[in-house]
Structure 1
């Protein structure tokens, strides 16, 4: 996969994730009733990710990064369809555990694609460019979603983000992973 295609993929999943993460607190307000419940929900997300990194890393070496990126995209597309249906706090906890696992898949895969692809002598420059473009995509998504929430329901952004994740799944499935990452 080349640099530009990876940037497009990562920018897309970053945008989709950024559409929901700053705003899903509003949805949690409907399912939970306290900050401690939100703390538990986010803590379960982080703890699940932390406990799964080692296994995901080993799995990545066996199956390849593309498989994990596809798993992440399609997993997120499906799990986001369930969020607007969560009306009990335990629903949110289960969803957060699944999202913690998927988040670990994404973070690990993102780094392994870069590590396997960049030239050591220009790694800093290439990773810097990568972060510029993916961060711009994230910023645009957060700002745009703020306006969308004003016009749509909070649940609708989960459906929209699900569609963006599904598109990213199709996009990465079509990519040739034997190409060099260099621009």
Structure 2
């Protein structure tokens, strides 16, 4: 078994390394999106319907398996340590990406996308490790910083993937990403430190036992649903974003470039705002920050449906990045502050499962709404999702507000 070493006050170094790791994991999960269907098309002679089916399977496979596998890895992390899970996930992702670059048919690609989901858990275990190491009064700031890695990687990934595929090729892009993930493996192995005392298998809590250990299980499970809806809202516009840009630019030749900018700009805003908002949440209350974020998101998604030029859309997408910076880190901080140390791994892995379900549900919602109505309808329906989330969080955090009085 991997020997896990500890080092006093090492959480700041761990945070730096894990930020890079979660950033690369976010890129790995999202950068193939601009060309995945095009790559599938190179692996055989398919009809339009077959291409749509195989592309959909390849897209959804990773997130579906992630939702199923995350709780298993979370339970193992609570018994063997989070660093071991981080090393396992980063090594597995690197190998899978190298293999994706050499597939010869679509079923090999779909199989590897399934395997990518099996090797999930880097992000949830990074959050769990930091949550158990950082002082509680700094958890909002630390987790706010960490979550910018995943969010920024996920949002910037499509832009990077499109650039790499344009300059090199689809296959070379997989190889480059595999090399970057291999660097994550080495950095995690040598520079992440964890002082972990393994829990005997006989003493491991069942799922029911974990729930009983939670001081406020209603709040924790409410945060899981909140995570799923946040991800669904963020991803509901993914299938139509480039088409919407093309529509408001009236088919301009620069549509591809501006689509990349529109996709990437929320990540830049989140990168800037999340640590600041996380620190503010430690002072004034994390629940207040997340509710403000929901109001901002509602106020931004609605006018997106009525923009008349791409610069208006870019400005509104920047504001959505700020809203994300107030919502996603706040969820992580609330979980950290309401989860006992010995079950942190499983709680954060459950949260990742709900996040993966949101990643699957969001594009499906967006595709359905755009086919039944129009592109503008997707933004209106997304604002409706955020309203539901606002009401859910408002009632679930009532005890936190009462405790401050």
TM-score norm. by structure 2 comes to 0.40
Pair 1:38 & 2:55 matched: yes
Other-structure match for 2:128: 112
Aligned-pair CA distance for 1:78: 1.0
Other-structure match for 2:180: 164
Q: Which whole-Å CA distance do the structure 2 matches of 1:19 and 1:129 have between them?
A: 22
Q: Which whole-Å CA distance do the structure 2 matches of 1:44 and 1:114 have between them?
A: 29
Contact 1:16 / 1:164 at 8 angstroms: preserved in 2? no
Q: Which whole-Å CA distance do the structure 2 matches of 1:133 and 1:75 have between them?
A: 19
Q: Which whole-Å CA distance do the structure 2 matches of 1:40 and 1:143 have between them?
A: 22
> Given the superposition, is the C-alpha separation of residues 11 and 42 from structure 1 closer, same or farther in structure 2, using an over 3 Å criterion?
closer
Other-structure match for 1:127: 143
Other-structure match for 1:77: 94
Q: Which whole-Å CA distance do the structure 1 matches of 2:149 and 2:114 have between them?
A: 29
Per-residue CA distance 1:68-112 (angstroms, 9 max, x = gap): 111111111111121122232221221121011112x22431332
Contact 2:94 / 2:182 at 8 angstroms: preserved in 1? yes
Q: Which whole-Å CA distance do the structure 1 matches of 2:28 and 2:61 have between them?
A: 21
> Given the superposition, is the C-alpha separation of residues 144 and 70 from structure 1 closer, same or farther in structure 2, using an over 3 Å criterion?
same
Within the candidate set 43, 59, 65, 2:82 is matched to: 65
Q: Which whole-Å CA distance do the structure 1 matches of 2:64 and 2:82 have between them?
A: 23
> Given the superposition, is the C-alpha separation of residues 144 and 94 from structure 1 closer, same or farther in structure 2, using an over 3 Å criterion?
closer
Pair 1:49 & 2:66 matched: yes
Contact 1:19 / 1:157 at 8 angstroms: preserved in 2? no
Q: Which whole-Å CA distance do the structure 2 matches of 1:151 and 1:42 have between them?
A: 23
Q: Which has the larger radius of gyration?
A: 2
Structure 1, unmatched stretches of 5+, are none
Contact 1:69 / 1:172 at 8 angstroms: preserved in 2? yes
Q: Which whole-Å CA distance do the structure 1 matches of 2:181 and 2:84 have between them?
A: 15
Q: Which whole-Å CA distance do the structure 2 matches of 1:156 and 1:137 have between them?
A: 19
TM-score norm. by structure 1 comes to 0.81
Aligned-pair CA distance for 1:128: 1.9
| Greater shift in the superposed pair: 46-55 or 20-29 | 20-29
Aligned-pair CA distance for 1:21: 4.3
Q: Which whole-Å CA distance do the structure 2 matches of 1:135 and 1:44 have between them?
A: 20
> Given the superposition, is the C-alpha separation of residues 115 and 96 from structure 1 closer, same or farther in structure 2, using an over 3 Å criterion?
same
| Greater shift in the superposed pair: 88-97 or 130-139 | 130-139
Other-structure match for 1:4: 16
| Greater shift in the superposed pair: 28-37 or 66-75 | 28-37
> Given the superposition, is the C-alpha separation of residues 4 and 148 from structure 1 closer, same or farther in structure 2, using an over 3 Å criterion?
same
Contact 1:84 / 1:155 at 8 angstroms: preserved in 2? yes
Q: Which whole-Å CA distance do the structure 1 matches of 2:35 and 2:55 have between them?
A: 13
CA RMSD for the aligned pairs? Answer: 2.5
Q: Which secondary structure does the structure 1 equivalent of 2:101 belong to?
A: helix
